[in-house]
Structure 1
Amino acid sequence: MEYSDLLTFLLLILLIWISYSYYRLKTSIEERARTLHNRWRDQDLSLFQSQVEQQADEKIRIWKNDEERNIRQDAIKRSREVIHGKVTEHLIPFFSSFRWNPADARFLGSPIDFVVFDGLSEGELREIVFVEVKSGVRPTLTPRERSVERCIKRGDIDFTVIHHINQK
């Protein structure tokens, strides 16, 4: 074997070894880059999720506080309306729109508001009137109030005397 052939052979071996080393190094660098990229992506994603969760928690807290405030204000408003209605029910006999003598009205409250014994205070009972007081734009009767109204309109009304003797 000649010197030039030996040199060519050694160069070929060296070239193969350099190619192999280059390929191993390239693979190692790509794997390291992929690992660093994945770690960075996971950290970035984790940070992003944390920020989104914090923002969502803050928005939920603000929404909850606003809704709680609205619910409380609505409850106060409704409470005032109920109190106003209850006071009005008791005072309605003294309003000019109440066509009977207030002395003839007896407050029940439930299932209807008043029974009016028209003329009783003057000594001459003309009629007995059942009165339900309603307020608001569209006053509607409850199912119980409607059942009382149906009974009265059908004439399903009775009068009973209970005699009780107290024995000592």
Structure 2
Amino acid sequence: MIEWALIFLLFIVILVLFYNYSKIKGQIEQQARVIFDSWSQKKSEDIDRWKTTELERLSSEKARIQFENWRLAEEQNIRTDAIKRSQSVTRGKVTECLIPFFPDFPYNPKDARFLGTPVDLIVFDGLSDEDEIQEVAFIEIKTGKTANLSKRERAVRDCIRGGRVQYYTIHQSFDESENLFVDMKVK
């Protein structure tokens, strides 16, 4: 009977040990799962962060390459356009100076004086032939596709058309007591 009691006691001890073993094993597995999940989430975040950074770098690099390709392709067009515009401006400036010598110019070229800005020419019609001026003409020359006046050119045109034109004589004598601007009205 002692043998049976000893076997029974051993059996209970084995059951208690097995219960404790199972309990500790469950806790260890749970801790291992928590550690693994934490590690897995951190790795996933690291991979996502790396992917985002890498995607941004690749996108930036691709954009830079595309811009460089566009710049190389368009550089010649831009240069050609700039040269055409420069030639057009130069052609316009030369034309402004030469217009009085064109056969259809309605005035004697000797009567024309080139200003350039804010009007291109002033013509003193009759000055070279008779010393009797028939009219004074302000002429703005436009070349190219559009013939629009600038804001300043319109202001000059409107002033002349409105009759707001004056003529003054300034006599310079080197006597300090004389007023240089005697004939001019100050408004």
Corresponding position of 2:88? 81
Q: Residue 80 of structure 1 aligns to a residue in which SS?
A: helix
Note the C-alpha offset of 1:71: 5.8
Alignment of 1:128-147 (within 5 A): 128-147=136-155
Q: Does structure 1 residue 16 correspond to structure 2 residue 23? A: no
Q: 1:24 to 1:74 in 2, by over 3 A?
A: farther
Q: How many residues align?
A: 167
Distance in 1 between the 2:104 and 2:25 partners? Answer: 106
Equivalent of 1:99, from 103, 106, 118?
106
Amino acid corresponding to residue 129 of structure 1 in structure 2: A
Where in structure 2 are there 5+ consecutive unaligned residues?
176-187
The structure number with the bigger radius of gyration is 2
Q: Does structure 1 residue 50 correspond to structure 2 residue 54? A: yes
Corresponding position of 2:160? 152
Note the C-alpha offset of 1:72: 5.3
Corresponding position of 1:25? 29
Distance in 1 between the 2:99 and 2:129 partners? Answer: 20
Q: 1:156 to 1:18 in 2, by over 3 A?
A: same
Where in structure 1 are there 5+ consecutive unaligned residues?
none
CA RMSD of aligned residues (A): 3.2
Q: Residue 137 of structure 2 aligns to a residue in which SS?
A: strand
Name the structure where helix makes up a greater proportion of residues. 1
Distance in 2 between the 1:95 and 1:5 partners? Answer: 133
Q: 1:57 to 1:91 in 2, by over 3 A?
A: farther
Q: Which moved more, 1:8-17 or 1:56-65?
A: 56-65
Corresponding position of 1:66? 71
Distance in 1 between the 2:61 and 2:98 partners? Answer: 50
